[in-house]
Amino acid sequence: MKGILIGSLALLLAGCAAPTNTACICDVVKLNNGWCSQCGLGYVAGVTIESELLFEALDAHGHDIGPGGVQCSSCRKAMEIDGFCGRCQVGWVSKQAYFSTLTYRLAKGQAKEVSKITCPICKVNADQLGWCASCGVGMVGNVAFPTREGFEQASRPYRVFLAAVEAAKNCELCAGAMVFDGTCPVCKISYLDGKGVPLAP
């Protein structure tokens, strides 16, 4: 027990300064789209996110329904087929809600620990994006898809997401707007599929 306390204390004191500890923590966090408070970094699909605002906006995990149930009929239909409700802009996977196209599509794949991937092509793909013909597996970040369709569907919002991660270095609100096809009220830019469009109407 004391050993556990010492280990815990050592980690808390060291924070993420020690590279070995950082790697250890991040490996865990990367798998579950989590946030490392000590490092001040978040991960979605294994991609490092520096912007806390963007990370929280994505909220990349499934959300349970409250006791009142879902009133939207379109959502109820989508829940039955792991579909996406265009009206509410909510995707449903295993009766849990995902609030962006990206997180909904990623939820249909399976996060992998990259260090344990044996196929060299898949390993490279896990660094970014790619389909491995010999394995029949597509990697979107660290998320594996066994079908070409699932891979393609996740690829598009993932590319927008990568652009948003970069954009967040200059404007976090723009980054959030990119992912959700919204508008940055500061820069006065609306986004569609990650690209700026004229303000409407």
Partner 1 sequence: MKYGRRTIALGVMFVGLVGIAGPRAMAGSHSWRINEVFSNADGTIQFIELKECCGMNNEVFLSGKYVSSQATSNIFNFPGDLPCSNCTANKHLLLATSTFAALPGAPVPDYIIPAGFFAINGDTLEYWFYDTFTFGRGELPTDCVNSLHDGGSTGRNSPTNFAGETGSVDACPCPGDLDGDGGIGILDLLALLAAWGPCDGCIEDINGDGGVGILDLLALLAAWGPCP
188: exposed, middle or buried (Cβ count in 10 Å: 0-12, 13-18, 19+) = exposed
Strands 110-111 and 189-192: unpaired
The closest of 132, 164, 191 to 55, measured between CA atoms, is 164
Residue 104 engages partner 1 in binding (rule: CB under 8 A)? no
Of 29-37, 119-127, 130-138, 140-148, which part binds partner 1 (CB under 8 A)? 29-37
Q: Which of 45, 47, 49, 57 binds partner 1 (CB under 8 A)?
A: 57
Interacting stretch for partner 1, rule CB under 8 A, among 52-60, 124-132, 134-142, 148-156? 52-60
The only residue of 19, 86, 120, 201 in contact with partner 1, by rule CB under 8 A: 201
| Three-class DSSP category at 104 | helix
Beta bridge partners of 36: 41
Q: Which of 19, 86, 120, 185 touches partner 1 by CB under 8 A?
A: 185
Interface with partner 1 includes 81 (CB under 8 A)? no
Among residues 189, 190, 187, 173, which one has the least CA distance to residue 56? Answer: 173
179 binds partner 1, rule: CB under 8 A: yes
| Stretch of 9-17, 104-112, 116-124, 153-161 contacting partner 1, by CB under 8 A | 9-17
Residue 101 binds partner 1 (CB under 8 A): no
Q: Which is nearer to partner 1, 93 or 122 (CB)?
A: 93
Q: Is the peptide bond before 146 cis (omega within 30 degrees of 0)?
A: no
Contact 130, 159 (CB under 8 A): no
Nearest Cα to Cα of residue 142 among 175, 109, 165, 120:
109
On whether the CB atoms of residues 168 and 55 are closer than 8 A, the answer is no
Told to check if 36 binds partner 1 by CB under 8 A, we report: yes
**Angle (CA) 53 83 152, round 5°:** 75
CB of 53 vs partner 1, minimal distance in Å? 8
Size of the site for partner 1 (CB under 8 A): 58
Q: Which is nearer to partner 1, 9 or 124 (CB)?
A: 9
Residues in contact with partner 1 by CB under 8 A are 2-12, 21, 24-25, 28-29, 32-38, 53, 56-57, 59-61, 63, 65-72, 75, 85, 87-90, 97, 99, 176-177, 179-183, 185, 190, 199-201
